[in-house]
Chains A and B, each alone.
Chain A
Amino acid sequence: MSPKALDYESLNENVKKVQYAVRGELYLRASELQKEGKKIIFTNVGNPHALGQKPLTFPRQVVALCQAPFLLDDPNVGLFFPADAIAKAKHYLSLTSGGLGAYSDSRGLPGVRKEVAEFIERRDGYPSDPELIFLTDGASKGVMQILNTIIRGAGDGVLVPVPQYPLYSAAISLFGGSLVPYYLEETANWGLDINDLRQSVAEARSKGITVRAMVIINPGNPTGQCLSESNLREILRYCYQENLALLGDEVYQQNIYQDERPFVSARKVLMGMGPPISKEVQLVSFHTVSKGYWGECGQRGGYFEMTNIPPKTVDEIYKVASVSLSPNVPAQIFMGLMVNPPKPGDISYEQFVRESKGIIESLRRRARMMTDGFNSCTNVVCNFTEGAMYSFPQIRLPPKAIEAAKRAGKVPDVFYCLKLLEATGISTVPGSGFGQKEGVFHLRTTILPAEEDMPEIMTSFKKFNDEFMEQYEDHRGYSRM
C-alpha cells in the first residue's frame, strides 16, 4: 500500500520548516517537569493572567452581562453590576445583530470598528476610516492574513528585525516566502541602523529576492526598545524610496516604562510627513487586547488598520476574512471597551484607573528590577526594557560551555536555558528562537512574575548563573559581541 497521506515524508514542506520556539523545546520540557511535580515559573510567553495578574473588573462585568442578557431583566442585577457596566452591556448588545452568538460582519461589528477608528483619531490626531479596520481573532491572525496576501513565493522577501517575535519567521516559512533579516544593534539599545537595513536589502536583491515589505515591532519584542519619531520617519522614508509596505506591530503600545520615548504610532508619523509619502506608503498597523495592562490573551481579540491600500486589495483581504466568517464576538466587545474605557465621572472610572495604574506602575518597577538583577550576574549584560513585556539579557557563554552544549547536541543557549530550567524551575525561551548575531547568545524572559516573587526569582537566577559560569569558565576568554 502506498504511504499514507499523513506520513511525515509527505507533509507540506513549508509546515515542516516552521519554528515557534515560544512554545517549543523549553516549554515542552518545562511542562514535562511540571507534570513530575516540579514547581515551574513560566516566563516563556507574554501571558500576564497566567502569572497572577488580575483581569480588569469593568470589562469582565460588561462581557458577563452580554453573555447572559437575561440578567439585564433581573430586578436584582444592580446588586452585582454597577449601572455603567449595565449600560455598556446594553450598548454593545445593541451593536450586534442577535447578541454574542451570531456571526458578525466578517470585518467585525461596524459599531466597534467605529469606536476603534475614534480611538485612533484621538490618539494620533488624524481621522481613521472604520471601513479599513478589520477585527481579528488576535493580532496574530491578522499578521498571518496580511503576510499571506503579500507573499507569492520564495522570490518574495519580508524584512524582519533580528531579534524578532517568531510569529513573523513562522508565518513567512508557512507561506513559502523569504525572511530578509535586519539586525538591531544591541550596543545602541537595540537601535535600528538604516545602513544595515540598506545592506540587508541589497544582499537579498543580489540573490534575486524582491523585498516587498518591512516589519517593525514597536515597542520591540523581545528587545523592548521604543522607536523615536525620527527613527520612524527614517523608516517610512526608506519604505517610500524602496517601495516596501510597512507592517507596524504595535501591540505593546500601552507598555512603556521610560519617559524619553513615549509611544508614537507609525500612522501618526506617516500622516505628519505629508504628501507624497503620507499618501503612498502602504501601512498595516496591528493592535490587541492581549497586552498593555489588559493582558486578556485568552479572549483572542485584535485588529489591523490599513492605510493607503487600494480598494481592490482591501476587497480581496475582506474575501479571505469572510471564509472564516467572523472574529469571535466577545473579544470584539473587549476591544470596544479597551479603546473606549470608563471616563471621568463614570461610576467605574476610579476603580478602572486604580487597577490599570497599579498594573502599569508595577510593570515599570519589574522592568527595572529584572534589568538590574541580570546586570548583577557574571557574564550577563542586559539592556533596559523600555517597553513591551520582556527582558532579553545577553549571556556570554564561556568556550567550555559551548563545547559542552555541542557534545549534548544542543544549541548553546538552549543548553543554558535547559540547565537553568532544571536547576531553578524558571522556564525561558533561548535567544536562538528569536534570532541573534552569530556567536552571541541570549534568553528571553518576561517581566510578568508577581512583583513580590521577583527578588527570589532573580536571586535564584543569579545563583544558578554564577555557579554555571564558575563551572565552565576558564581564562582563554568567552563569547562576546
Chain B
Amino acid sequence: MAPTVTLDTINPKVLKCEYAVRGEIVTLAQRLQQELQSNPGSHSFDEILYCNIGNPQSLGQQPITFFREVLALCDHPAILDRSETQGLFSADAVERARQILDQIPGRATGAYSHSQGIKGLRDTIAAGIQAHDGFPADPNDIFLTDGASPAVHMMMQLLIRSEEDGIFCPIPQYPLYSASIALHGGTLVPYYLDEETGWGLEISELKKQLEAAKSKGIAVRALVVINPGNPTGQVLAEENQRDIVEFCKKEGLVLLADEVYQENVYVPEKTFHSFKKISRSMGYGEEDLCLVSFQSVSKGYHGECGKRGGYMEVTGFNADIREQIYKMASVNLCSNISGQILASLVMSPPKVGDKSYESYRAEKEGILASLERRAKALENAFNNLEGVSCNKAEGAMYLFPRIYLPQKAIKAAEDANITPDTFYCRRLLNATGIVVVPGAGFGQVTGTWHFRCTILPQEDKIPAVISRLTDFHKGFMDEFRD
C-alpha cells in the first residue's frame, strides 16, 4: 500500500514555500566542502566561504564578553556564591547575573517561564526601548520568542485567513516573509523598491500595488518594512517613515516593522529610528496604528544567531487580540530562557561607569567599524567589476549587486534550465568556493539579475575574496561577452 506521507500527499503549502538562503546553492557548497575534505586539492580553492547567510560568529566574529559572562553565570548559578568567582568573571557581570536570577522564580533557568517571557526581563527590554525611542514601552506588549522568525510566523498565522488575504512585502525581501506567507496560505503582494534611488520606497508604488491587489479581490492586511533593509541595506529616511505610517493608518494596515538590523548603520548621514518612535512623535497612539516591531539577538554587533533570542513589541490592538496572541504563544509554552536573558542584555548593555563598559565599548565599536570597512571594500570591489553596479550598504549585513549578464550567459542559463543569476552564482561557487545567494531568492524586477553577498568574512580574508571574485568575473565575462 502506498505510504501516506509522500510528496503527492503532503500539505501543498509546504511544497509552495521556498527559502533560498539555505537552498540549492548551499547544498551544492556542502557537497564541494565534503569533496575538499575527502580529497584535498580537488578544487582550485582551499575552502568554502559561506557568504550566503548573516551568521557572523560562524566566520570568526567574537561574541561580546560581558554578555557571555552573564549567560555562563546564569547557566551555572552555583559558582556565583564562591569568592573565587570574582577572579574569573568581571564584577558587574556577577552583579547583573544575580539581578537577573532574582527576577526568575526560584532562580530556575531550567523552568518554563511565563509564555511572553520572564516579566523582569521584559521590564528591562521595555526600559531599553524607551531609552532608545524617548517614548514609553509596556512590558505587557512584549513577546519574547526563539529568534525574531517565530514571532513573524505568529503574526502571519494571525493575519492570514485564506489566499484572499494579502501581505505587502518589499521586493527584494528577506525570504522568511515569502516563505511564511506561503506556509500560512496567504498571498504576497509585492511593492518594488527603486534600485536607481538607492532602493527607495515610494508611497506611489505602494498605492499602485494596493489598487492592483484590491482589483484582484485581495484584502491587503499588513505591510512589511525591513529597516535597515535585507538584502538591500538601505536605511529609511525619517520622512519616508512618516509617509509609511500615514499610509498604514489611512489604509488600516498592520505595520510589521522588521528592525533586527537596528544596530547596523554604517553611514553618518543616516540614523535608525524605530517606527514606534516615528509614529509616537507624529502624535499617533494605540488608537491610530497597529504596529508590530521585531528585534533579534542575531544581528547588530552581538551576532548571537545560535542563541535564538528575539522579541516582538505589539502595540495598537485591543485586549481580545492580545488574548489570541498570548494563547498562540502559550501552546509552545515559552521561548528558551538563555535567549530571553540575552535579549535583555542586548537592550540594556553596560553603561558609562560600569566596570565592563570600556571593554564592551571597544568590542562593539571594533566590530561595527570593521563591518563598515568591509561593506565599503566589497561595495567598491563590486562596482569595479565589468557590468556590475552595486548600491551602498547603508546598514544591515549584505550587498546586493546587480549583474548585467551578456546574452550568451543568459542563453547558457536557459539551456541549463536555471535562472541566469543562479547560473552565475554556481559558476562562482565552482571556481572560487564563495557561496552567495542568487537574487531570484529575494525577488527582483523581471529581467534584472542580482546576488546577495554578506559583508561578514573576517577582514583579513576580504582582499583574497575580492581578488578571487574579480578574477572569476573577468574570466566569466571573457567567456560570455557579447
Contact = CB atoms under 8 A, between A and B. Distances in A.
Nearest to A150: B5
A149 B12 CA distance: 8
A57 B78 contact: yes
A14 B6 CA distance: 25
Contact of A60 (B9, B75, B337): B75
B331 A141 contact: no
B307 A323 contact: no
Interface in B49-71: 53, 55-61, 63, 65, 68-69, 71
A463 to B, nearest CB: 27
B161 A326 contact: no
A254 interface: no
A70 B71 CA distance: 13
B11 A6 contact: no
B68 A68 contact: yes
A201 B34 CA distance: 47
Given A76-B88, A319-B19, A148 B110 contact: no
Interface in B14-67: 14-15, 17-19, 21-23, 53, 55-61, 63, 65
12 contacts: A5-B253, A6-B254, A6-B321, A10-B221, A15-B157, A20-B331, A23-B115, A100-B63, A103-B53, A243-B1, A316-B10, A325-B305
Interface stretch (A46-54, A342-350, A390-398, A472-480): A46-54
Contacts of B23: 319, 322
Interface string A69-94: 11100101101100000000000000
Interface stretch (B144-152, B372-380, B391-399, B429-437): B144-152
Given A18-B331, A98-B57, A137-B336, 6 more contacts: A11-B158, A12-B158, A24-B330, A48-B111, A100-B306, A102-B58
Contacts of B14: 148-149, 316-317, 319-320
A10 B222 CA distance: 13
A312 interface: yes
Given A152-B12, A300-B146, A23 B306 contact: no
Contact of B339 (A1, A7, A313, A328): A328
Interface of A: 1-8, 10-16, 18, 20, 22-24, 45, 47-50, 52, 55, 57, 60-61, 63-65, 67-71, 74, 76-77, 79-80, 96-104, 106, 137-138, 140-141, 144, 148-152, 167, 170-171, 174-175, 212-213, 240, 243-245, 280, 282, 295-300, 308-310, 312-313, 316-317, 319-320, 322-331
B308 interface: yes
Contacts of A319: 14, 17-19, 23
A79 B221 contact: no
B3 A329 contact: no
Contact of B252 (A4, A70, A171, A213): A4
Contact of B306 (A16, A47, A70, A96): A96
A236 to B, nearest CB: 14
B306 A99 contact: yes
B446 interface: no
B336 A298 contact: yes
Contacts of A331: 336
A299 B309 CA distance: 12
Closest 7 CB pairs of A and B: A329-B306, A102-B58, A64-B76, A298-B337, A50-B111, A68-B72, A322-B22
B15 to A, nearest CB: 7
A106 B2 CA distance: 29
A323 B58 contact: no
A76 B330 CA distance: 43
B105 interface: yes
Contacts of B6: 310, 312-313
Nearest to A320: B14
Contacts of B110: 48-49, 55, 295-299
B278 interface: no
Given A138-B332, A171-B331, A313-B6, A326 B88 contact: no
B179 to A, nearest CB: 5
